[in-house]
A and B are shown apart, each in its own frame.
Chain A
Amino acid sequence: MTATITPQVTSPKPDAAPRPAPKRTFRQRLNRWDVKYSPYAYVAPFFILFGLVGLFPLGYTFVVSLNNWNLLTGPGEWVGLGNFAAELSDPFFWNSLFNTVSIFFLSAVPQLIAAVFIAAVLDQNLRAKTFWRMSVLIPYVVTPVAVTLIFSSAFSEKYGLINNILEAVNLDPVMWKTDVFPSHIAIATMVNWRWTGYNALILLAAMQAVPRDIHESAALDGAGQFRRFFSITLPSIRPTMIFVIITATIGGLQIFTEPKLFNPTVSTPGGNDRQYQTTVLYLWDLAFNRQSFGKASAVAWLLFLLIVLFGVLNFLISRRIASTEARVVKRRSAKALARSRAEAELTSGFVPGVEPQLADHPHHTEENR
């Protein structure tokens, strides 16, 4: 194979250049078809399958939502937007939306803060750094069902680990599964436990991509560790933070497993007073317990619109921040570099300009893998 790489000068597109040949052989024609249509054959399986099992069901959900569709009896009469109107005036729907957003914020905000903190701690010249990086990922390999079983036991109101400890130190036990806010905290804790380390690693990767020259010149200017963190690291990783927030939003607004399995002893999914019933759990209950496919589909579409809305907002914000931020960092680092170089020349007569500016972060990561 290597022998053929030697520059044999044929035309750059060997197949597309059969000069005004009088007649193509069958082989040549075959070759032309191969070049022309193969790419479509390679991408086609994805588009066909994705269309069938991804986009078509999502679109057809809207059709179902326009009918009085039942799980058992099938399509009923056409009701137009009646299901949407019914859901938008249903307090249970709004309750589920409130719970979803509340749990989402209780998980997204502390998680992001903790993940940035852990990433910053990991972003040092550690000993055994692979071990520490792996160690933050342990919760990620515990499946959501297992996580829920474990924490559902720990948050039991009677004989639960946490209330046992609270009582042992003479504090009042908390009604984790009965009260609204405590149950939201309990469910958010499960999400946080599983995802914080994962997000910390994404943020760590972003922190390591910050050119070291900036850190060095800032240090030369006398900026300490904390100052550098807030003035350099944090602004540089903001696009990645937005990315983490977007994925957390898409996942967080569809939370199902944790509330579904949190308290198996009550018959209403999401607690007796639906105090922690999320929207997807509400949707599931509507479709498969109350058999109203039409209304459940309307809920699915409303949730879909909400997620798209959150996504678009995030995208607009992130694009603005990313573009301004990139400019600022570039300008700032160029200035800082020039300054540090001038100083270095002054003090030692040493000219660092000969080395390539980006030598510090090569485009391979062998060492970090």
Chain B
Amino acid sequence: MTATATRSAPAASSRPAGSSPAKPRRGKGSLGIDKRPGFVTYGVLLAVFLGGALPLWWSFVVGSSDSQVLTATWPPLLPGGQFWQNVGQVVTTVPFWTALGNSIIVSGVITASVVFFSTLAGYAFAKLRFRGREGLLVFVIATLAVPTQLGIIPLFMLMRQFGWTGSLGAVIVPTLVTAFGVFFMRQYLVDVIPDELIEAARVDGASMISTFWHVGVPAARPAMAILGLFTFMTAWTDYLWPLLVVPQNPTLQVALSQLQSAKYVDYSIVLAGAVLATLPLLLLFVLAGKQLVSGIMAGAVKG
């Protein structure tokens, strides 16, 4: 099933890239597998790094200048001194602070909900015996690849029926759970908790829920962090659905897109907004970039 494709992606075992000291080396010099790469490699990596960073840097250059900067034949490489002035324009053109608050609430609630329900269900699928478990798990896996985003029209009708359009609940509710989250937690927990540990807790007289709480959750914590990180990113970057249900009470992405909705686009303001809106995730990247990398390498899937 889909599982075979997904299972192959996580590299459960990746070799430590240094040389393994336990292993007697034979003919190390002639093999040349572990030799340090030369400057060409670092040149390529530097080019990739610049390719990723320069567009951001350039939008900061434009966002900190006036719009005249774009008419220059050769693009300037240093920022101007107008960044805060442009930011001032951004926050008066669109309700920036409201949008930032909305995005934090929406992404926070969605993350908490997805992580909690996924851990609960993933734990049950991984470690508890019950009738119909295999069938239900197959169902979860099968829905992994179902593009539920295509159900937006009835979903929109439902939200309007409930009178929720315009409120953050309409953004939050459709993504309270994901099939990916359940599958991800299940895959993690199935190997990481020894059955004996659960049995021991049960023998001790712990109820099912307290076993989950005292054995399951502590063991699941690393995976919960990774799932939370990616869920937060996905919720934060979502655009189509918030655009439909809360255009007047926007999330950050919707507000950002409204910066250029006029006939004339002042790119120094638009790009100042783009830089400003990127800062929270850049901060997250600085703090948790390592976890993002290992999460992706452990087989995280695009949201």
Known: A153-B62, A239-B5. A368 touches B14 (CB 8 A): yes
Q: Which 6 A-B pairs have the closest CB atoms?
A: A57-B151, A208-B14, A205-B11, A205-B297, A209-B11, A38-B208
Contact residues in A for B92 (Cβ distance below 8 Å): none
B55 near A151: Cβ-Cβ < 8 Å = yes
Interface string of B22-33 (1 = CB under 8 A from A): 111011000111
* Residues of B in contact with A (beta carbons under 8 Å apart): 1-2, 4-6, 8-18, 20, 22-24, 26-27, 31-37, 41, 44-45, 48-49, 51-53, 55-56, 58-59, 62, 70-75, 117-118, 120-121, 123-125, 128-130, 133, 136, 140, 143, 145-158, 173-177, 179, 182, 196-197, 199-204, 207-209, 212, 214, 233, 236-237, 239-240, 244, 253, 256-257, 259-265, 267, 270-271, 273-274, 277-278, 281-282, 284-285, 289-290, 292-294, 296-299, 301-302
Residues from 128 to 152 in A contacting B, C-beta threshold 8 Å: 129-130, 132-146, 149-152
- Quote the shortest CB–CB distance from B76 to chain A (angstroms): 11
Q: Say yes or no for A76: interface residue by CB 8 A criterion.
A: no
Q: A125-B37, A126-B37 are in contact. Are A367 and B143 (CB under 8 A)?
A: no
How near does chain A come to B122, taking the closest CB pair, in angstroms? 9
Cα(A15)–Cα(B202), bound, Å: 8
A39 vs B20: C-alpha distance in the bound complex, in angstroms?
43
Q: Is the CB of B253 within 8 A of A365?
A: no
| A137/B153 contact (C-beta < 8 A), A212-B33, A307-B147 known | no
Given contacts A39-B130, A47-B136, A121-B44, 7 further A-B contacts (CB under 8 A): A8-B203, A55-B143, A61-B154, A135-B52, A138-B285, A361-B13, A365-B13
Closest B residue, CB atoms, query A296: B153
Q: Are B2 and A315 in contact, CB atoms less than 8 angstroms apart?
A: yes
Contact A208 B15 (CB under 8 A): yes
The reply to whether A146 and B274 contact each other, CB–CB distance below 8 Å, is yes
The answer to whether A205 and B14 touch across the interface, beta carbons within 8 angstroms, is yes
B55 — which chain A residues lie within 8 A by C-beta? 139, 150-151, 154, 193
> What's the Cα separation between A256 and B241 when bound, in Å?
11
- Bound-state Cα–Cα, A280 to B151, Å: 12
Cβ–Cβ < 8 Å partners of A315 in chain B: 1-2, 5
Interchain residue pairs with CB less than 8 A apart (11): A34-B208, A49-B177, A57-B154, A133-B293, A141-B233, A149-B59, A202-B297, A264-B261, A352-B24, A359-B20, A369-B290
Q: Which residues on the B side are within 8 Å of A125 (C-beta)?
A: 17-18, 34-37
Tell me if A219 is interfacial: C-beta within 8 Å of chain B.
yes
B45 touches A132 (CB 8 A): yes
Tell me if A126 and B16 are in contact (CB < 8 A).
no
* A residues whose Cβ falls under 8 Å from a Cβ of B: 1, 4-5, 8, 10, 12, 14-15, 31, 34-36, 38-40, 42-43, 45-47, 49-50, 53-61, 63-64, 118, 121-122, 124-127, 129-130, 132-146, 149-154, 156, 159-161, 164-165, 167-168, 193, 195, 197-198, 201-202, 204-206, 208-209, 211-212, 215-216, 219-220, 239-240, 242-244, 246-247, 250-251, 254, 256-257, 260-261, 264-265, 280, 284, 287-288, 293, 296-297, 300-301, 303-304, 307, 311, 315, 318-319, 322, 344, 348, 350, 352, 355, 359-365, 367-369
On whether the beta carbons of A355 and B75 are closer than 8 Å, the reply is no
Q: Report yes or no: B150 in contact with A304, Cβ–Cβ below 8 A.
A: yes
Which of B26, B58, B117 interacts with A344 by CB under 8 Å?
B26
Query: Which residues on B sit within 8 Å (CB–CB) of A363?
Result: 12-13
| Cβ-defined contact, A121 with B41, below 8 A | yes
* Set of chain A residues within 8 Å of B44, measured between Cβ atoms: 121
Determine which of B35, B73, B148, B299 lies in contact with A58 in the assembled complex, contact meaning CB atoms within 8 Å.
Answer: B148
| A143 to B: closest C-beta gap in Å | 4
Instruction: Assess the A45–B121 pair: CB atoms within 8 A.
Output: yes
Which residues of A sit under 8 angstroms from B35, Cβ to Cβ? Answer: 125
